[in-house]
A and B are shown apart, each in its own frame.
Chain A
């Protein structure tokens, strides 16, 4: 998905179905036995050729997960997931860690081509207006290719599949893995800790400004497969990185589970900008199929004056349950959360953020734009808290909801907890609909009703779109129009 606009043109031509990534790649897979036991965990660990400490880490998580119960507090409703009916590991059969792209199965390459993901560096270079983006492509449970590794290595940046990092940079992984999201954090994070199969690892050394955008592209292909990727990004002192994440899945009638964990660590004066365009298959208009997207994302502003900024455009998934959060531990650290969540059809979204102010002079900003259409429900849930020692903590929150149609719901559930008088929290929220007069005005100037709605919605979400890297913003803007198709009239 990153940076490729021709895919958008292609979407326009597919008018039968709104979801453009719904195809299945016919490729033979190597899977773990169905169901989850200690043996499954051992199988995954062995496949990844992991050291013993990693296996033990996973087994601890697995044993803990067995004692936990699935959370029910979010405003989402879905039939119970049978965790014994899932496959926890699936890799293309042809898969042996490829040395060059020529070793990658051509069927896989075609898949990414179809998705518009540039896996060949020269393809990326060929685009004149595009900025260069290094891509790590994760297909079901394995990373199939990572681009620009050599150039990044010259800058000292490590960007590789996490399975590779466990083998080759054990000291960094040991130090940081699970340090932001502990293995015991929540039901889905614990499950992920036991069975995560792949994901990206990023380390930016001291004082380095990462020379290009880094991007991971996740694809679930196999039926009944859970995808449990794990991302770990460490920005050492004074460094900067911008990271993009994109996701799609084929259209299948059954629901697929996606339970990722993302951990960010920003040391003194470091900055991490993490952008997501989430476009998992949302299910059909009747709510059949689609991805359950239960994700734990958390950033730790560990160092002084560090900064973590989350930007997300959520248009996909049958159910979304995610709260990208910032722990503002370092004095003077800053957390930001910009979100656009669009729900249509029978989608259910429960998303928001947590800003936990621990250090002095910490600031946070939350801009959330929710748009509900069809028969969907869209909930913003957020927590802003300042602990006693977080003197001069500052938060500004703005949550706006827009309703399109009278069969959907928009909900806002913010929590504010101030334990110091020097904190200043401001929260505002509004819910409204697109005014008939605005729509008529646009129509009078020649826009169709759908174009008018798309234009007004794009205005509504502009504050957030501006936070995205340029190529992503263009794509996200079009994605918004597509997501809202059929919501008018």
Chain B
């Protein structure tokens, strides 16, 4: 190896090193967990925060975006718990709700003991004591990815959820994350395994006040043979927050995953999806809708690994941008030699509502098997003037006509949510953005 190329650390990097030193003793888990955290943090510290010269972060220069490291919250105050009640979404939805405020479990808001038959929900701290390897090593996602490494190093509160073989859980499990009070850092980790032939709906939400919080969230999802999972995400962080998120799923034979996300918050968000097809004939539908105004930055990065034959993946991402907002879409489909008969399609569309908005897209195909049908598409453009004119000629004011067209644009994504109440809640959030364009 050459000499260390960059000895100079940014304030945020130094802050993270200090924070890790300060927090490590108190982080949950035994010796194995401590060693795994140490390894992960070293992997991060060796390279520091990724910048635009790192290909995967070309359009999201985390070193420039993250100026300093926020402190972790050690004990959760009652005031913050009280304040978080108003910030909780999906209040009307009949679900098993577990709430983390400022990265800490809020037992008074959670229904930990109401889990339906056949599903076990264990706190991350307890899980770490029993099986640290399983809780901290994430297969199918790159361990040296900065967001993942930091999550592994710092994850304090979180959940391990498992659904027994053959059990269909009807009621959604809603993991809510709320940030409130002084600007802080929050790390959350939820690991889910769905047994053979079982099914589950997992809802995650992220919301909070506009302070400069830093959230780093990780969801790991393991689907056994013939299992089914629906994953819904509402990223509605306060507009000062830096949101780093990882969703990593592994699919065994004939399993099926549907994931739908709506991103309407955060000053800057990097949302990564890592999908690995491990068994034949599995299917995944990954859909995302995003809105950004002001000077917000919204990054969706997907890596789909086809490692088994006969699997199908579909990705559809739609983003509407106003003000000086910027969206990034990076999507990569990798088809290994063994993954014959792969059917992979990816589409990313960006709609620019303001002349100062910017959209960057990098859809990628990396294909090593010959009997496949793969494709991707990407479009960037403004609202169709002719459609706008048509609606206005029918009497709609411009703003309303625009809103209608944007709604139609993202509608395709939100309509893929099967759960009525959740779909309505997400649509309502989308409508609000169209009024406020923040």
Contact = CB atoms under 8 A, between A and B. Distances in A.
Is the pairing of A and B real?
Answer: yes
A416 B361 contact: yes
A411 B364 contact: yes
Interface in B330-368: 337, 340, 350, 352-368
Contacts of A78: none
A27 B360 CA distance: 54
Interface of A: 73, 388, 401, 403-433
A255 to B, nearest CB: 25
Nearest to B330: A415
Given A408-B370, A418-B360, A427 B379 contact: yes
A27 to B, nearest CB: 44
Interface in B371-387: 371-382
A328 to B, nearest CB: 16
A421 B361 CA distance: 14
Given A418-B350, A419-B358, A410 B367 contact: yes
Given A411-B364, A429-B365, A73 B382 contact: no
Contact of A423 (B363, B374, B377, B380): B380
A421 B354 contact: yes
Contacts of A405: 370
B362 A424 contact: no
Given A73-B55, A425-B378, A414 B363 contact: yes
B369 interface: yes
A424 B365 contact: no
The residue in B357, B366, B370 that gathers the most chain A C-beta atoms within 10 A of its C-beta is B370
A417 B358 contact: yes
B365 A412 contact: yes
Give the interface size class of chain B: 35 or more
B375 A414 contact: no
Contacts of B55: 73
Given A408-B370, A415-B362, 19 more contacts: A406-B340, A406-B370, A408-B368, A409-B366, A412-B363, A412-B364, A412-B365, A414-B363, A415-B360, A416-B360, A416-B361, A418-B358, A418-B380, A422-B355, A424-B382, A427-B376, A429-B377, A430-B373, A430-B375
A418 B367 contact: no
Contacts of B356: 388, 421
Q: 9 shortest A-B CB distances, which residue pairs?
A: A421-B352, A403-B370, A430-B375, A412-B365, A424-B381, A418-B380, A416-B361, A425-B380, A427-B378
A423 B363 CA distance: 18
Contact of B382 (A403, A422, A431, A432): A422
Contacts of A388: 355-356
Nearest to B337: A406
30 contacts: A403-B372, A404-B370, A405-B370, A406-B340, A406-B369, A407-B337, A408-B370, A409-B366, A410-B365, A411-B365, A412-B364, A412-B365, A414-B362, A415-B360, A415-B361, A416-B380, A417-B360, A418-B352, A418-B358, A418-B360, A421-B354, A422-B355, A423-B352, A423-B380, A429-B376, A431-B372, A431-B374, A432-B372, A433-B371, A433-B372
A424 B380 contact: yes
Contact of B365 (A401, A408, A418, A423): A401
Contacts of A73: 55
A418 B381 CA distance: 8
A445 B332 CA distance: 40
A350 to B, nearest CB: 13
A406 B371 contact: yes
B370 A423 contact: no
A433 B370 contact: yes
Contact of B355 (A407, A413, A421, A432): A421
Nearest to B338: A406
B366 A411 contact: yes
Contacts of B361: 414-416, 427
Contacts of A429: 363, 365, 375-377
A373 to B, nearest CB: 10
A413 B364 CA distance: 5
Nearest to A402: B370
A374 to B, nearest CB: 12
A223 to B, nearest CB: 34
Contacts of B350: 418
Contacts of A421: 352-357, 382
A369 to B, nearest CB: 14
A425 B371 contact: no
A432 B365 CA distance: 12
A48 B99 CA distance: 78
A327 B76 CA distance: 57
B263 to A, nearest CB: 19
A258 to B, nearest CB: 27
A424 B349 CA distance: 11
Nearest to B327: A418
The residue in B358, B372, B378, B380 that gathers the most chain A C-beta atoms within 10 A of its C-beta is B380
Contacts of B377: 426-429
Contacts of B360: 415-418
A425 B366 contact: no
Nearest to B59: A417
A428 B353 CA distance: 23
Contact of B378 (A411, A416, A433): A416
Contacts of B368: 408-409
Contacts of B373: 430-432
Nearest to A73: B55
A408 B369 CA distance: 8
A428 B355 CA distance: 24
Contacts of A413: 362, 364
A414 B329 CA distance: 12
Contacts of B337: 406-407
Contacts of B363: 412, 414, 427, 429
Contacts of A425: 378-381
A382 B394 CA distance: 42
Nearest to A398: B377
Contacts of B376: 412, 427-429
B396 to A, nearest CB: 20
Nearest to B328: A417
B1 to A, nearest CB: 16
Contacts of A432: 372-374
Contacts of A424: 379-382
B338 to A, nearest CB: 10
A175 B55 CA distance: 36
Interface string B77-96: 00000000000000000000
A422 B354 CA distance: 9
A23 B356 CA distance: 58
Interface string B217-240: 000000000000000000000000
A409 B364 CA distance: 13
B352 to A, nearest CB: 3
B203 to A, nearest CB: 32
B257 to A, nearest CB: 23
Contacts of A409: 366-368
A399 to B, nearest CB: 9
Contacts of A430: 373-375
B235 to A, nearest CB: 23
A416 B381 CA distance: 12
Nearest to A423: B380
A224 B358 CA distance: 48
A401 B371 CA distance: 12
B378 A414 contact: yes
A412 B374 CA distance: 11
B92 to A, nearest CB: 37
B374 to A, nearest CB: 4
B229 to A, nearest CB: 28
A72 B374 CA distance: 27
A407 B371 CA distance: 11
